[in-house]
Structure 1
Amino acid sequence: MEEGRWLDISYLLQGTALQKEVHALLVRLNVMTLLRHYHPIFVGTIPLGIQVEDSDLDIICEVHDREAFAAQVGLHFGEMDQYSCESRIVDGIPRIKINFTVEDWPLELFGQPRPSKKQNGYIHMDVEARVLNILGSPFRRQVIELKCQGVKTEPAFARLLQLEGDPYQAVLGLGKLSEMELEALCRERFIN
């Protein structure tokens, strides 16, 4: 996967019908342009093609001023169904989460004061894309099957790759591996 692929949502146009539908929705909302100063990146299961029925649209942002971010998002999307805004501090890091529904799609905007590409949501997605690229359709099917049973994405990857400990941290740890190391681990641990 080439560096920067995830930064421009036009890659969705080369994907599935659902990915093209989501691209059209994000373009209609103009959300990526409206939030461009926050370096938005569309992350999660839909870019990876492993979404299930209740998957949402996740966009992460680099947010240093939560109040300004909330005001800007509220100005453009505050009238949307099920609009909510939550701001708190987790592990010493301020974060803001804004949720709303548009055209039956739940959308979540998440921000914290670190570059979007350094946030866990981006790192998880990038690692998961690498694993999917290595292990292909059999692995993808098993991830989706686990997700249909209610298992979240990172725990599904951790289970299938026999990773120990906290699944979110374990998947993050895979991001430190070279392609060769990651491929060796995947081929050794995934039982098809």
Structure 2
Amino acid sequence: MIDFTRIDYLKTGNERQKRAYEVLIKYRVFEKLKLYSPILAGTVPIEIDIAGSDLDLICEVNLEFEEEFLDDLMFSKFIPYDVEVEYPIINGEKCITLNFILEEFPIEIFGQNKPTTQQNAYLHMIAEHKILQEKGEEFKHKIIELKKQGIKTEPAFGMLMNLENPYEDLLKL
């Protein structure tokens, strides 16, 4: 099983993974975010990304100290100063997101007051990875095709696996 809490696996992945690794290392992203236990989640790590897919960086952030987090990000010099900060409510909990471009990659930094290995983005990715390993390349290509049609990742898995509520059901797998 791949250790998704580190990014070393990207070095030997597909071309987009290798390029993501180069960019993340060049800008020392994980080093600069280390206080927040960053993990690269989403579709790129499990090779079901499509053109325009972003690099989802999840972080553990206590939003009582959000100014410190934002200061750390701004002083890290890999985030533009005019980046838009949003505060979505997810499962009744305030979170923080920042979206910007780093070279050719759209980046989303997502912070939640929860360990990164317990966040849904990570748990969904782990479940999806296991499913992809079990179901093989044909299933993987079907997921990618659905994504190209504009269907988000979890609903795509839900469609192919007949899941009633894919966001919740994937967490049970």
TM (norm. structure 1) is: 0.84
Compare the two structures and name the one with the higher helix fraction.
1
- Structure 2 gaps of 5+ residues are none
Asked whether the equivalents of residues 88 and 95 of structure 1 are also in contact (C-alpha less than 8 Å), the reply is: yes
Letter in 1 for 2:25: V
Asked whether the equivalents of residues 27 and 78 of structure 2 are also in contact (C-alpha less than 8 Å), the reply is: no
Match in the other structure for 1:146: 146
> Residues 158, 35 of structure 1: CA spacing in aligned structure 2 closer, same or farther, 3 A cutoff?
same
> Residues 77, 152 of structure 1: CA spacing in aligned structure 2 closer, same or farther, 3 A cutoff?
farther
Task: Name the SS for the 1:111 alignment partner.
Answer: strand
Aligned partners of 1:148, 1:52: CA distance in 2, in Å? 7
Aligned partners of 1:78, 1:26: CA distance in 2, in Å? 10
TM (norm. structure 2) is: 0.93
Task: Name the SS for the 1:107 alignment partner.
Answer: strand
CA RMSD after TM alignment: 1.6
Match in the other structure for 1:53: 51
- Structure 1 gaps of 5+ residues are 175-192
Match in the other structure for 2:119: 119
Aligned partners of 2:77, 2:123: CA distance in 1, in Å? 27
Aligned partners of 2:10, 2:78: CA distance in 1, in Å? 26
Instruction: Map residues 104-183 of structure 1 onto 2, 5 A cutoff.
Output: 104-164=104-164, 166-174=165-173
Instruction: Map residues 54-69 of structure 1 onto 2, 5 A cutoff.
Output: 54-64=52-62, 65-69=65-69
Aligned partners of 1:83, 1:16: CA distance in 2, in Å? 30
Asked whether the equivalents of residues 147 and 153 of structure 2 are also in contact (C-alpha less than 8 Å), the reply is: yes
Letter in 2 for 1:173: K
